[in-house]
A = this chain, B = another copy of it.
């Protein structure tokens, strides 16, 4: 493993997340940052802003760039990540560390089969951060501050390479790094991320009055900010994690139906008890996470 200051870091895709990660990596002083994006104007913008040192936007350029990169961040959607790996596996530099940012893990790694070369170290990752903006123009590495970063290491990963990724993301601002399996990742993410996006979308979907915000006190805004959704990307994430997401939606529907019944049947004491236990549970969830924050941030 090379030192970071001697490494060339490559980004595949300079969207909201790829752009933000590149901006953050810039501050860590690697030898160079290179990027591939289908959109030449994004590459131009990233060069102009000094976020990257070199950029390419076609297959020929990519095949020149990839063999140079010591560390590669693939910042594409799940299906595009899979397609990228299938198409360009032979172009990675021997010994390269490769990571991704995709929000569903099982579907990719089940389909990857024996495609992964043994002389590269592929460490799947998932930065739990984002915003309602889209593309490189919305990219901002401040979104990483105090967030979770999930790694779902493969049995073949080198401990020193995992340690490097942990160091990098800690410096990016993430203050809690979780290592787990792809299976657990997908179950948990179906709840914390995908279910939340479905709820936010359904809440906006069911209201026809565009002036409803006259009656808004913060709650509706907080619950629906993530409804300003990248529709194709989230559709892909939902579909790629269908079974887990459907389970989580049904779990939520049951809780909602139980509360609805308490309201309908005027069961005041039961509802107060339930809401009190919800309050305590939510406070505990926050405290448990806060206690895990890396002390140096």
Query: Interface on A for B, CB 8 Å cutoff?
Result: 127-130, 147-148, 150, 176, 178, 185, 188-189, 191-193, 195-207, 209-229, 231-232, 234-235, 238-239, 242, 245-246, 249-260, 263-264, 266, 268, 271-279, 281-286, 288-289, 292
A-B pairs with beta carbons under 8 Å apart, 28 shown: A129-B217, A147-B217, A148-B217, A150-B214, A176-B214, A178-B215, A188-B214, A191-B207, A191-B212, A191-B220, A192-B215, A198-B259, A199-B203, A202-B255, A202-B259, A203-B252, A204-B278, A205-B255, A205-B277, A205-B281, A206-B254, A213-B288, A216-B289, A227-B278, A228-B279, A235-B268, A235-B271, A242-B264
Task: Classify the interface of chain A: helix, strand, loop or mixed.
Answer: helix
Docked Cα-Cα span, A273 to B232, in Å, equals 9
A282 to chain B, nearest CB (A): 5
Contacts of A219 in B (CB 8 A): 192-193, 196-197, 200, 226
Contacts of A223 in B (CB 8 A): 196, 199-200, 222-223, 226
Query: Is A188 in contact with B215, judged by CB distance below 8 angstroms?
Result: yes
